[in-house]
Structure 1
Amino acid sequence: MIKDDKRIRLFIGHYGSGKSEVSINYVTKLREQVEGEVALADLDVVNVYFRSREKKDIMKDLGITPIDSSINTTTLDLPAVSAEIMRPLNDKSVNYVIDVGGDNVGGKVVGRFANQFNSNDYDMFYVVNANREKTQTAKEVLQYIDAIEATSKLKVTGLINNTHMLKETTVEDVLKGQYVAREVSKIRNIPIKYISCLESIVDKLPKDLEGDILPMKLYLREEWMM
């Protein structure tokens, strides 16, 4: 269950893995399961497209506190991070989700305040998209995990299989990613925590897959997009 994860949840991954979409879906379900404040921080200063901050109004309507750039606009690409990100780190009453920028470059932002994290108080989930270039094998995924851990100064505690082809995602895509995630899990002893996939194919998946199913809405893609 999402509510049973550690209080602070960081989402990392290769650039374009879909971690921002996963972060938003995760935090909306977390909001349904817990009392008190739930906050979502967008620390992505790498990718100018499909950032969770673009849906801050939806988050507010759902009762989620959005934290993003210190510059109050979505149309400028400035590497500015609000000092507000620190408050939920220190306020133990807040359930906190952090969408980290892609690759080791994004991890550097977290590395700046890594000393604020207690290992007993955070989970860092690596989002695996085995349809994404450079993360199609366990070896490639492990290289990114190593690089992000080095710059963020934090350890990955769980894997999320988010292998997809957007609206054209099939069961075969999910199973392809599950194979890669399972290999990574065996090599590093990192559990597969979630399998994220479109709501339309949840019932078509095998029932014995490792990890909880995280049904996905495409919050970051407009209706006219593929």
Structure 2
Amino acid sequence: MKEVRPMTELQKDGICLPDGLADIILICGHYGCGKTNLALNLAAQCVKAGEKVTVVDMDIVNPYFRASDYGPLLESMGVELIAPGFAHSNVDLPSITTEMYSIFTRTGRIIIDVGGDDAGATALGRFSRRLKERPYTMLYVVNKYRSQSQSAEETVELLREIEMASHLEACAIVSNSHLMQYTTAQTVIDSFEYADEVCRLTGLPLAVTAAERRILPDLADCGRKIWPVDVLVTKPWETNGVQGDC
């Protein structure tokens, strides 16, 4: 049973937390869209809002940017991590573990970081029947500056592939167009028309526009609902503590 409620921004004790989400949140999108960083931010903000949070890394395809690589960070937040088999190792093909089935008996907020294309979403398809029995929110994260999703039409085609592979339907679009550390407010503003066209073609609402916290002052009058996020994901070749891809 998917939840299709549009999100609004809830200001609670200075915390910007997207509201209107089901307890089970699936975050999907093509490689480089920034979905893992958004999953980490959402987990952090849910914890600050007093929620019990579990992050499930279901990206068994991409060995470079996975929620599993941020186990210590999640632990420091008070977030429990469920990772695929062989996570934190040099094995490139991790697998679904039996622990992942525990999401259907857990309480609190469950945030699932889905694989970055139809191949990655296939793993999620194993759980589709049981997911449909509960309210869920599946967010499709888009970034117009990625090579394979620069047009709205390409982006929608990628979404349809993910939906077909996962046997689930997206509920809303999250615009997260960025150029990593080179992102400016104008970078985000220039993506508005693209995000609107993706919404028009899919018939899905624009849940929120994510933007790096450092450029928020320049977006104050942009007319969009902005979700401020921090860059928590680092590139594999960077030293610890150096921020990388959003």
What is the TM-score when the length of structure 1 is the normalising length?
A: 0.91
Q: How many residue pairs were aligned?
A: 224
Q: Deviations over 1:126-176 (max 9, x none)?
A: 110100012111111110111111111111111111111111101122122
Compare 94-103 and 201-210 and name the one that shifted more.
Answer: 201-210
- Superposed CA RMSD in Å reads 2.0
Match of 1:193 in 2: 207
Q: Distance in 2 between matches of 1:185 and 1:72?
A: 35
Structure 1 position 40 matched with structure 2 position 52: no
Q: Unpaired runs of 5+ in structure 1?
A: none
Q: Distance in 1 between matches of 2:53 and 2:43?
A: 8
Q: Distance in 1 between matches of 2:131 and 2:244?
A: 38
1:225/1:10 Cα in 2 relative to 1: closer, same or farther (>3 Å)?
Answer: closer
Aligned equivalent of 1:150, options 164, 186, 189:
164
Match of 1:22 in 2: 38
Match of 2:228 in 1: 214
Match of 1:126 in 2: 140
Match of 2:26 in 1: 10
Q: Deviations over 1:59-111 (max 9, x none)?
A: 011110011122353432223122212212233x2210000111111110111
SS state of the match for residue 156, structure 1?
A: coil
Compare 19-28 and 208-217 and name the one that shifted more.
Answer: 208-217
Structure 1 position 96 matched with structure 2 position 110: yes
Aligned equivalent of 1:175, options 181, 184, 189:
189
Q: Distance in 2 between matches of 1:171 and 1:224?
A: 19
Q: Distance in 2 between matches of 1:30 and 1:107?
A: 24
Q: Which amino acid aligns with 2:35?
A: K
1:224/1:215 Cα in 2 relative to 1: closer, same or farther (>3 Å)?
Answer: closer
Q: Distance in 2 between matches of 1:14 and 1:41?
A: 18
Task: Give the C-alpha shift of residue 48 in structure 1.
Answer: 0.9
Match of 2:97 in 1: 82
Identical-pair percentage: 27
Q: Is the contact between residue 194 and residue 214 of structure 1 (CA under 8 Å) also seen in structure 2? A: no
SS state of the match for residue 4, structure 1?
A: coil
1:48/1:34 Cα in 2 relative to 1: closer, same or farther (>3 Å)?
Answer: same
Q: Distance in 1 between matches of 2:214 and 2:180?
A: 12
Task: Give the C-alpha shift of residue 3 in structure 1.
Answer: 4.7
Compare 128-137 and 25-34 and name the one that shifted more.
Answer: 25-34
Q: Deviations over 1:19-68 (max 9, x none)?
A: 11111111111111233x21001111111112111110110111100111
Q: Unpaired runs of 5+ in structure 2?
A: 1-9, 11-17
Q: Distance in 2 between matches of 1:181 and 1:131?
A: 12
Which one has a larger percent helix, Structure 1 or Structure 2? 1
Q: Is the contact between residue 127 and residue 160 of structure 1 (CA under 8 Å) also seen in structure 2? A: yes
